[in-house]
Amino acid sequence: MLVTTLRFSKYSTTGASHERPAGGGLVRAARRYGQDAYVTRFRRERIAIAVLLTVLVAGACFFFILQGRGSSSNIAYSIGDRWTWAGTVQTSQDGLEVTMFSRIEEITGVETKRGHRCWVVKSSDANNQENYSLDYIFVEAGAMYKVISESFSGGHKTGETVYSSPALMIEFPLEVGKRWTDAKPLSGYDNAGGIELISGQRTSSSEVLRKESITVPAGTFECWVIKTTEIVDGTHVIRVENQLLGAQATTVSTQMGWYSESVKNFVKRTVESTTIVTISGQQQILETTTEMNLSSYSV
């Protein structure tokens, strides 16, 4: 299955791409996200915790998963396949905040990455397509794998996430009761968020629960209902006020998706996640709920 990172920023209507300063830096990112109070009221560790939470929620917690055609192992896409979603993100840290977003995903080409011939999946903010991510996915023996993710801002590459070996996303054919699991070390960086180094482990477990009909703005569809539990645990090196700090971060999420064979994608997805960040003995916890509904598609 194709997994594309969900990006959002804290505005009333925002989108799928990072909206952070091109030069990076956690202090500037904190100000951009309306967190100036951290700069004057807390030490560097508090600044780092606040903004790292924002980066992790924007980047690691939420995945929207494209998959192959239905319950068949014959997975086929076409360049130009396109999906548009609208959704909300609710965060509870210092009170409840609701963020709305609109997002576009499109198959833009085929490219070789790390020795694999991959579909290129572009995910962008419907209102600002200068900030986007690219995911590279390949299919082999009826299973779909993710090789690497890259993020861009203003036409410049700002980050990437690489798995030690291709990460298993889904196994076909789909049927009620089917399960699959995967565990892979990952590494990367996020210059836009001031993260110099990401090193961690992603563990996931998925199960097909049932098949049911569901109605979303794009129409009514017969869907497979898939539940995924995911843990992303790692160590980060981040830059704050020209100093490097080490951080431990863990995100645990439960994801429910309604996948349609005719759409070649999920038409609805919900994600409930908890992120814990610890820096120099200081800890913060952020709980987040995301819902995405398909608005339109062309396949």
pLDDT at 246: 87
Is pLDDT of 299 > 60? yes
pLDDT, one tens digit per residue, over 146-177 is 999 999 988 899 999 999 999 998 888 889 99
Q: Is residue 38 part of a domain?
A: yes
Burial degree of 206 (CB within 10 A; 0-12, 13-18, 19+): buried
pLDDT, one tens digit per residue, over 1-19 is 333 333 333 322 233 333 3
Please indicate, yes or no, whether the overall pTM of this predicted structure exceeds 0.85: no
52, containing H or E segment: helix 44-59
The residue type at 284: Q
- Indicate the average pLDDT of the chain: 77
Q: Is residue 246 part of a domain?
A: yes
Q: Is residue 299 part of a domain?
A: no
Q: How many domains does the chain have?
A: 1
Higher pLDDT, 207 or 97: 207
Q: Which residues contact 204 (CB under 8 A, 6 or more apart)?
A: 181, 182, 183, 228, 229, 230, 231
Higher pLDDT, 225 or 55: 225
Q: Is residue 243 part of a domain?
A: yes
pLDDT at 4: 37
pLDDT, one tens digit per residue, over 241-264 is 778 888 888 999 999 999 998 898
Q: Which residues contact 96 (CB under 8 A, 6 or more apart)?
A: 90
Q: Is residue 31 part of a domain?
A: yes
Query: Is the separation of the CB atoms in 162 and 185 below 8 Å?
Result: no
Range of the domain at 60: 2-294
